[in-house]
Amino acid sequence: MRRALPATILGTLLSGLALAGCAAPEDTTAAAPRTEIAAGAKDEAIAKLLPADIRQAGKVRVASGVSFPPMEFFDTDNKTVLGFDADLGRALGEVLGVEFAFENVNFDGIIGGLNAGRYDLGLTSMLDKKERQEQVDFVDYLKSGSALMVAKGNPQGVKEVLDMCGRKVAVEKAATGDLLVDDVTKKCAEAGKPAVEKVPFPDQASTVQALQSKRADMVAALDLTLAYSVKQAPQQFEVAVSAIDPLPVGIPVPKSKPQLRDAVQAALKKLIANGTYDQLLAKWNLQAQAFKDAAINAGT
């Protein structure tokens, strides 16, 4: 069933209360809800590509940082996972004949959890970067770049990435904004400017609250989520800088599970071919982020 999203998310952004509680313990599990967009019947040939243990279990354990609208976030019950990634997981599961069961995990623990065998894959808007490819393989399904969100009116006149130097920047730990701050800090030093003052949080919702409460001067994160935050609270926020270092967004899979990687890639290609992927992009207003190659490790 399709949910009424805007009022819920707007209320949480403005109140500064509900989204702070989005990061549940790691054992919080929820299946992606069904929507009116159907991927179709199970594809037996693709399903046979799955590892035997997953076929027998009938479930894929999905690690996701469920505090990143519009990609993944909790409904008002603080249990049901909504968003593009949730819908994509459901559609992939339909093709593969298994359930994609989402487990809420702090972003900085996802790759470690995958390689420790606690989860089978991630669906959490993770950029496919070369350094991450050393630990996991990616099945790429979107493209995105970093962005900087500031208070409405841009009171500090942020126009470029070096305007981060000497300012407080809220980031989600180990996520794209965190890595961006590290890169920009080096550039600040080369330019003779003060370092960026990184303000890390365990989830994306807390970074938005930090900007709202003036504990940070800006938020650095993927443009996917910051554009959504601005849309829900246009009187409070605006994006000052966007399209920073665009890269593919991928589904991380442990290198020890090449069968699972290939099965997910085949299922994604089918969703692209049968139009389901385009329908999901349109539902979540992500057409500009389309990446239809379903490539493996396309990031640089």
Tell me, yes or no, if the two domains 5-144+248-289 and 145-246 fold the same way: yes
The pLDDT profile of the chain, 300 residues, written as one tens digit per residue, is 233 333 343 344 433 333 333 333 333 445 444 445 666 789 999 999 999 999 999 999 999 999 899 999 999 999 999 999 999 999 999 999 999 999 999 999 999 999 999 999 999 999 999 999 999 999 999 999 999 999 999 999 999 999 999 999 999 999 999 999 999 999 999 999 999 999 999 999 999 999 999 999 999 999 999 999 998 999 999 999 998 999 999 999 999 999 999 999 999 999 999 999 999 999 998 998 999 999 999 999
Residue ranges of the domains in the chain?
5-144+248-289, 145-246
Q: How far apart are CA 124 and CA 72, in angstroms?
A: 7
Taking the mean position of all CA atoms in its chain, how far away is CA 284?
A: 13
Nearest to 239 by CA among 255, 228, 252: 228
Mention the CATH class of domain 5-144+248-289: alpha beta
Q: Which CATH number fits domain 145-246: 3.40.50.300, 3.90.1300.10, 3.40.190.10, 1.10.3300.10?
A: 3.40.190.10
Say which amino acid occupies 183: D
Q: DSSP E strands: which ranges in the chain?
A: 29-31, 59-64, 73-74, 81-82, 99-104, 121-122, 126-127, 136-151, 168-172, 197-201, 218-222, 237-254
